[in-house]
């Protein structure tokens, strides 16, 4: 009786949690809709303001070019009457080129030049400029660069609406007049930086020590002349000349974890494959050591904004920040100790240019099972969790109970870990249900449980210490699930990153790529959905381009070749459709080009000898078809009809000559 009441109470509490989660999800959807609406309004307002400014500039040019001499004279007279200091004058300026730098976004770009000596940039002048315009510049070691802060959010703002003071990072948010700082938010968004000249060739200039964001329009280049540019008696305020140990932006050390170092190596090796622009930026650096040196120098000073430093330091858990370099490298880091300012680099991802997340982390959209699993893992009391586990244990005989158990308890069992005696049993049932859910996605060509797979991959298998709470058999099964379904849920580039850091457990680390491809071959043997098979085969080719399969063991190579060869044949045991056979042959030829002609000859022989394709079988089928036609055709009726037709046409015959005689 007590057990029944306990189970009923657990189910009631669980239903109450579900109702609360459903209401929270409803509120989240409402707030998300309002936020999207506000963002749309803001974007529309900005587009309208940009279009209005563009039309205004066009009208000014048209007016100046079509005879506005009288009005100009009136304007000059008015300007002289008001005073030259109050006249709104404009002067034509055009960029001579655009600077390509290693800083993809404003966040992370150095605040001053020469703070990051490894930061390099490439300037290509426009073709309209003379060829010898930079002749003689190679004789200087440094130069001045005049450019535009093109990513300012207040471009085109009227001066009357500007703020006179801005927050200074070195003063921890203290305000100083704009013209007493080097803030990019100025009356005219013009920047001035000095840089070291590395090389000058025709219309190309390579410099280092930059503090420009990628794509900055350059207005002019001037040589740096020490005898007149260096002022020995120059004085600065006290907050500018602070010592390093007393500066709020000082970082004591930058630590790169082993996982992040492996991922950075992968990003560097595949940087040229992510786009032409990234390949151009990679050519500015010699080797992987230059990338590590650049990363240490950039993070050697606190690049966070004043708001981030003041608000995030009050939080308990460390906040993960992102640094974007070289067009498509996304580096994740945290500030470990706010007092000693130690930065730890956790991870790195390679993102395709112009795409969102092929190779990035899975988007964690809030789905119903994720919200309930979070409620069970975080908000529920330990006794209530035990009641929930015991309730599911009583109904495990139901077909869908295991699936529901996996969706409700995966964050608790895999994240926190159950410490009871039945831990291994619960984990085994959980992984069985997850395997069924992933297979159901494959058979229906859906990705309903992508968030569940993302948690298993990123937060359990690939995270440091994520598998330590599980037994050795459970660790192996988790690794198998990630290896089997990564090509379906992830893109090939993300899978390649997964292979480099796969798995986090030392018990299966030595298997790596072999283990990965053995599981993929097993999936290709079992799956019967044409679209999913084609997706796996095409992804294998792209994965081979990122990670050559030459390092595979002989057994794994034979297994992969056997699956590809069987899928490319018309017969059993798979009886693959034509689209799958074509894709399998193409994948086989690209991954294993040796023996391509022999396989083509074998295909021809197989087609001839196969019962469905041989010449004898085709002739037999034709004769059988003709026999059926002849057996069913009304030949007797056709003969009688023909004789009757001939009799009518020829008319009645007279007596024959033999009869007359």
Q: How many CA atoms lie within 13 A of 377 on its CB side?
A: 18
Residue 11 pLDDT exceeds 60: no
Mean pLDDT (the chain) is 76
The conformational region for residue 595 under phi > 0 = left, psi -120 to 50 = alpha, else beta, is left
- A 10 A CB-CB count for 404 gives 15
405 close to 414: Cβ distance less than 8 angstroms: no
Between 451 and 609, whose confidence is greater? 451
The highest-confidence range among 53-67, 384-398, 639-653, by mean pLDDT, is: 384-398
Distance CA 392, CA 410 (A): 13
Residue 588 pLDDT exceeds 60: yes
Long-range contacts of 262-265 (CB under 8 A, 24+ apart): 262/500, 262/501, 263/347, 263/348, 263/349, 263/497, 263/500, 263/501, 264/288, 264/291, 264/292, 264/295, 264/329, 264/331, 264/348, 265/500
Residue 211 pLDDT exceeds 90: yes
Give how far Cα 312 sits from Cα of 110, 255, 307, Å. Answer: 21, 20, 8
Interval 18-33 mean pLDDT = 66
260 close to 464: Cβ distance less than 8 angstroms: no
584 close to 567: Cβ distance less than 8 angstroms: yes
Burial 341-355 (b: 16+ CB within 10 A, else e): bebbbbbbbbbbeee
Residue 351 pLDDT exceeds 60: yes
Task: Please name the residue that has the structure tokens 């993929």.
Answer: 520
pLDDT in tens, 107-126: 889 989 999 999 999 999 99
Nearest to 584 by CA among 545, 528, 540: 540
pLDDT in tens, 397-419: 776 788 888 888 888 888 776 66
Distance CA 500, CA 265 (A): 10
The conformational region for residue 193 under phi > 0 = left, psi -120 to 50 = alpha, else beta, is beta
Give how far Cα 10 sits from Cα of 24, 161, 196, 380, 418, Å. Answer: 21, 60, 69, 11, 18
pLDDT in tens, 442-479: 888 888 888 888 888 888 887 777 777 788 888 888 88
The per-residue pLDDT for 3 is 46
The per-residue pLDDT for 147 is 96
Q: Structure tokens of 380?
A: 């529920």
DSSP 118-153: T-EEEEEE-TTS-TTTTTTGGG-SEEEEEEE-TT-T
CA 633 to chain centre: 66
**Which fold does the domain 97-229+241-246 belong to in CATH?**
Elongation Factor Tu (Ef-tu); domain 3 (2.40.30)
CA 513 to chain centre: 22
Paired sense of beta strands 190-201 and 204-208, if any:
antiparallel
371 close to 25: Cβ distance less than 8 angstroms: yes
Long-range contacts of 513-516 (CB under 8 A, 24+ apart): 513/547, 513/549, 513/551, 513/552, 514/552, 514/553, 514/555, 514/556, 515/479, 515/483, 516/483, 516/486
205 close to 122: Cβ distance less than 8 angstroms: yes
Measure CA of the first residue to CA of the last residue in the chain; give whole Å: 124
249 close to 170: Cβ distance less than 8 angstroms: yes
The per-residue pLDDT for 145 is 97
The per-residue pLDDT for 210 is 93
426 close to 409: Cβ distance less than 8 angstroms: yes
The per-residue pLDDT for 353 is 41
150 close to 50: Cβ distance less than 8 angstroms: no
Between 54 and 150, whose confidence is greater? 150
Percent of the chain past pLDDT 90, that is, above it, reads 16
Interval 271-282 mean pLDDT = 66
The per-residue pLDDT for 628 is 61
Confidence of residue 504 (pLDDT cuts 50, 70, 90): very low
Task: Please name the residue that has the structure tokens 């794509």.
Answer: 215
Interval 140-144 mean pLDDT = 96
Distance CA 591, CA 541 (A): 6
**DSSP code at position 99:** E
The per-residue pLDDT for 377 is 76
Residue 609 pLDDT exceeds 80: no
The per-residue pLDDT for 228 is 92
- A 10 A CB-CB count for 147 gives 23
pLDDT in tens, 610-630: 555 555 555 665 666 666 666
Give how far Cα 618 sits from Cα of 16, 601, 607, 644, Å. Answer: 68, 21, 12, 39
The per-residue pLDDT for 297 is 93
DSSP 235-297: ---TTTT--GGG-TTB--EEEE-HHHHHHHHHHHHTGGGG-HHHHHHHTTS-SHHHHHHHHHH
**Which fold does the domain 253-350 belong to in CATH?**
YaeB-like fold (3.30.2310)
The per-residue pLDDT for 38 is 79
How do the domains of the chain map onto residue ranges? 97-229+241-246, 253-350, 511-593, 595-634
Interval 500-512 mean pLDDT = 53
- A 10 A CB-CB count for 25 gives 16
Length of the chain: 661
The per-residue pLDDT for 571 is 67
Strands, DSSP E only, in 481-592?
none
The per-residue pLDDT for 594 is 76
Residue 375 pLDDT exceeds 70: yes
Between 498 and 352, whose confidence is greater? 498
- A 10 A CB-CB count for 291 gives 23
Residue 513 pLDDT exceeds 70: yes
Burial of 2 (0-12, 13-18, 19+ CB in 10 A): exposed
Nearest to 196 by CA among 125, 279, 138, 247: 138
Q: Structure tokens of 527?
A: 């799956």
Strands, DSSP E only, in 369-478?
none
Residue 218: which H helix or E strand, with range? strand 216-223
The per-residue pLDDT for 510 is 45
Confidence of residue 354 (pLDDT cuts 50, 70, 90): very low
Geometric angle at alpha carbon 155, from 149 and 160, rounded to 5°: 125
Q: Name every residue whose Cβ is closer than 8 Å to that of residue 574 and which is 6 or more positions away in sequence.
A: 525, 566, 567
Interval 470-491 mean pLDDT = 85
The per-residue pLDDT for 592 is 82
Q: Which of 51-60, 370-379, 549-558 has the lowest mean pLDDT?
A: 51-60
Distance CA 73, CA 50 (A): 29
Whether cis (ω within 30° of 0) applies to the bond prior to 573 is yes
Interval 529-547 mean pLDDT = 85
Paired sense of beta strands 216-223 and 204-208, if any:
unpaired
């Amino acid at each position: 009786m007590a057990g029944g009441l306990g189970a009923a109470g657990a189910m009631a509490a669980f239903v109450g949690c579900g109702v609360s989660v459903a209401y929270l999800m409803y509120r989240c959807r409402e707030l998300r809709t309002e936020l999207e609406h506000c963002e749309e309004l803001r974007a529309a307002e900005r587009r309208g303001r940009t279009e209005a400014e563009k039309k205004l500039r066009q009208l000014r040019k048209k007016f100046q070019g079509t005879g506005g001499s009288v009005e100009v004279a009136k304007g000059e007279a008015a300007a002289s009457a008001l005073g030259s200091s109050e006249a709104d004058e404009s002067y034509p300026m055009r960029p001579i080129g655009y600077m390509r730098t290693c800083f993809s976004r404003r966040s992370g770009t150095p605040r001053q030049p020469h703070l990051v000596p490894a930061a390099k940039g490439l300037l290509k002048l426009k073709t309209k400029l003379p060829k010898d315009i930079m002749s003689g510049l190679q004789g200087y070691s440094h130069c001045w660069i005049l450019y535009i802060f093109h990513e300012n959010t207040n471009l085109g703002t009227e001066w009357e609406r500007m703020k006179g003071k801005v927050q200074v990072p070195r003063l921890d948010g203290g305000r100083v007049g704009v013209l007493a700082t080097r803030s990019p938010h100025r009356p005219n968004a013009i920047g001035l930086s000095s840089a070291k000249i590395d090389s000058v060739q025709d219309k190309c200039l390579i410099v280092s020590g930059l503090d420009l964001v990628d794509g900055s329009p350059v207005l002019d280049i001037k040589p740096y002349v020490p005898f007149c540019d260096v002022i020995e008696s120059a004085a600065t305020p006290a907050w500018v000349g602070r010592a390093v140990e007393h500066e709020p932006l000082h970082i004591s050390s930058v630590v790169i974890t082993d996982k992040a170092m492996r991922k950075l190596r992968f990003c560097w090796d595949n940087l040229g494959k992510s786009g032409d622009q990234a390949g151009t930026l990679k050519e500015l650096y010699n080797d992987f050591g230059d990338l590590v040196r650049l990363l240490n120098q950039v993070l050697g000073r606190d690049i966070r904004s004043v708001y981030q430093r003041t608000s995030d330091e009050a939080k308990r858990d460390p906040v993960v920040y992102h640094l974007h370099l070289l067009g498509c490298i996304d580096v994740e880091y945290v500030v470990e100790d706010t007092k000693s300012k130690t930065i730890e680099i956790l991870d790195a991802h390679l993102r395709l240019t112009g795409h969102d997340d092929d190779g990035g982390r899975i988007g964690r959209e809030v789905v119903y099972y994720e919200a309930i699993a979070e409620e069970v893992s975080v908000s529920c009391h330990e006794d209530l969790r035990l009641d929930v586990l015991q309730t599911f244990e009583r109904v495990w005989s139901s077909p869908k109970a295991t699936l529901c158990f996996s969706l409700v308890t995966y964050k608790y069992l895999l994240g926190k870990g159950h410490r009871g005696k039945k831990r291994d049993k619960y984990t085994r049932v959980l992984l069985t249900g997850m395997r069924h859910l992933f297979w159901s996605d494959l058979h229906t060509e859906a990705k309903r449980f992508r968030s569940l797979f993302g948690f298993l991959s990123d937060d359990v298998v690939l995270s440091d210490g994520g598998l330590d709470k599980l037994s050795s058999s459970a660790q192996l099964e988790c690794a198998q699930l990630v290896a089997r379904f990564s090509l379906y849920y992830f893109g090939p580039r993300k899978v390649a990153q997964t292979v480099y850091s796969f798995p986090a457990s030392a018990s299966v680390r030595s298997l790596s790529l072999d283990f990965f491809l053995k599981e993929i071959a097993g999936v290709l043997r079992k799956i019967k959905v044409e679209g999913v098979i084609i997706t796996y085969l095409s992804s294998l080719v792209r994965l081979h381009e990122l990670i050559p399969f030459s390092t595979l063991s002989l057994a794994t190579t034979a297994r992969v070749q056997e699956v590809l060869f069987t899928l490319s044949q018309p017969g059993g045991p798979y009886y693959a459709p034509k689209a799958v056979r074509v894709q399998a042959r193409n994948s086989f030829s690209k991954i294993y080009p040796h023996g391509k002609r022999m396989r083509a000859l074998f295909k021809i022989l197989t087609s001839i000898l196969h019962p469905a394709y041989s010449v004898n079988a085709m002739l037999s089928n034709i004769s059988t078809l003709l026999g059926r036609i002849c057996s069913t055709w009304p030949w007797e009726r056709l003969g009688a009809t023909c004789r009757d037709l001939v009799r009518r046409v020829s008319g009645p015959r007279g007596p024959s000559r033999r009869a007359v005689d």
